[in-house]
Amino acid sequence: MRLVIGAVTMLLTAMPLGAAELPATSKVDAVTVFASGAEVRRLARLRLEAGEHTVIISDLPQQAVANSIRVDGKATGKLEIGAVDSRRIVLPRAGAEAQQSERRRIEDQIERLKDERTGFEGRIEAAESQKVFIKELMELPARPVPAAAAGQTAREDWPQVLTLIGTGIADANRAIQDAEVRIREIDRRIAELEKELAAQAPPLEERTQVKIHLIAPAPLEADLVVRYQVPNASWTPVYDSRLTTGAKNAAPQLTLTRRASITQRTGEAWQDVALTLSTTRPASNVSAPDLKVITVDFMPERPPVAEAPAAARDMARRRSAAETLAGAPPPPAGLVAAGEQKADASLSEFAATFAVPGRVTIENTGEIKRVVIDEAQLEPTLVVRAVPKREERAFLYAKLVLPKASVFLPGPISLFRDQTFVGTGHLPQLAGGDEHELGFGADDAVRIRYTIADEKRGETGLISTSRTDQRNYRITVKNLHERPIAFTVLDQVPASLNQEIKVELIGRAAPTRRDVDDKRGVLAWEDKLAPDEERVIEFGYRITWPAAKNITFRP
């Protein structure tokens, strides 16, 4: 017997400890927010004995993407992480008993108010009955005297009856009015309580439970890190651009501040977390779409058929059209989709992350949290731009080169010039080192005048083989600043859509650029004006076309 007991004891000592289930709590320690979605990093601190353990963490949100859950960590000794399982569970919400008690309190209060309302409705009903009785008293003098009482002398005290009637009607009306006022107050209070009751969270909530299988050869302490992704979180950039235009001996300066507007409804609050913003866009579409082969061939020849009735011919034509559409190559929608995917790929190419200083709290309410990402001090080049054909005003622009080793996502930008808010704009997708121009409103220190100098229409040739239309314009630009200013003046000449219509640019001032921004006929004159300098730009165009035809101008 002693031998058996000893053998069993030795066997139990040699075997590893059974896999114990250890509930653990975790805390959100860090969050990386993407343009759509977020990656959450939770930290759980454990003290483990030697043996196999199953750590159960049940405080992940229901929205946690199961395939994204990863576990790693550090320990004071050797620790092996085995299988990681996850499932959806339903748990009592924190403070469920208190919430249930609050719900019962609100429900009881609503019930009492409804009983009180019923009482006031009874008062109204009683007062209405009293008014009916009083109206019957008012009809007594008009009623015939009964035959049995014809010989008797009337003894009614009519003054007292009239007083009773007046007092009774007034009291009944007052009672009805007071009861209706109280009913309205009760209805408002009931409506408020019902809203409050609806706002009470249900006592149960769905969560994601993670089971982590661990093997610890010896007692140790460990910090487990659980990473997972959640939807319903995002950030968008918001920019401030503050321009100091400088003076005669002071160069202009521009401060570009980038902020982030963050919002989340992930089912968990991010309390005091290390926040990182990323321009990466995790998505299910990680590869470019495939293109199918498109072939072209002659339509198969069909044997001639006998003439059919009109209805049959119409049906055959419709059938043939349907077959033609079915056999035709697909529309180039796939090409458009490929272009859109290419744009997404270019965004991922310029991925960047921004670590927000300190610790941040973002509640699970969908409210916007704004944080500052960075601030850059830039030295812009100022230039005025005018389109006098549309408006005789010059507009100030700041040309700037964005800081390198960065990426700028599209977003709204607020524009300030010399501490004055001048408007808003939109910053497009840009990369570090790109050049960009920001408009800062009208520049009243640059005067623009636009006049039509001459218009001529006529015919050329001995026998009037062609017609001509000639127009000349004069643009005057004057700089009233104390320092030189670069300017760009834009105008246009018609673009011909027919080789028989000839457009010739004439005038003294040749444009610096033609077909600006790939727009046919758009011209630009660029130069620099000294203080108080005035420049005159004279140009025009001549159109020639066959005399037998008429032309039309279209925008």
Q: Are residues 451 and 520 in the same domain?
A: yes
d(CA 77, CA 156): 110
Residue 410 covered by a domain: no
Q: Are residues 218 and 183 in the same domain?
A: no
Residue 323 has what pLDDT?
40
Residue 123 covered by a domain: yes
pTM: 0.59
The strand ranges marked E within 181-279 are 204-216, 220-230, 233-244, 253-264, 270-278
Residue 328 has what pLDDT?
40
Give residue for tokens 């991922």. Answer: 348
Q: Positive or negative CA dihedral for 111, 113, 114, 115?
A: positive
Residue 327 covered by a domain: no
Number of H helices, E strands in the chain: 5, 28
* Average pLDDT for runs of 10 along the chain of length 555: 38 45 92 93 92 92 92 91 89 65 86 89 84 72 56 56 72 86 91 84 78 92 93 93 89 92 92 90 68 72 55 48 40 35 32 84 90 89 94 94 83 94 92 90 94 85 77 95 93 90 90 93 94 94 89 83
Q: Are residues 105 and 37 in the same domain?
A: no
Q: Which among 69, 93, 88 has a CA at the least distance from the CA of 207? A: 88
Residue 166 covered by a domain: yes
Q: Are residues 453 and 539 in the same domain?
A: yes
Residue 321 has what pLDDT?
40
Residue 469 covered by a domain: yes
Residue 462 covered by a domain: yes
Q: Are residues 109 and 191 in the same domain?
A: yes
Q: Residue 58 CA to chain centroid, in angstroms?
A: 32
Residue 315 covered by a domain: no
Residue 217 covered by a domain: yes
Q: Are residues 48 and 179 in the same domain?
A: no
d(CA 82, CA 76): 18
Q: Which among 57, 127, 74, 32 has a CA at the least distance from the CA of 355? A: 32
Phi, psi of 217 (to 5 degrees): -65, -25
Q: Are residues 101 and 193 in the same domain?
A: yes
d(CA 378, CA 434): 13
Q: Are residues 495 and 471 in the same domain?
A: yes
Q: Are residues 179 and 52 in the same domain?
A: no
d(CA 426, CA 436): 12
Q: Domain containing 41: what range? A: 15-93+205-231
Q: Are residues 80 and 104 in the same domain?
A: no
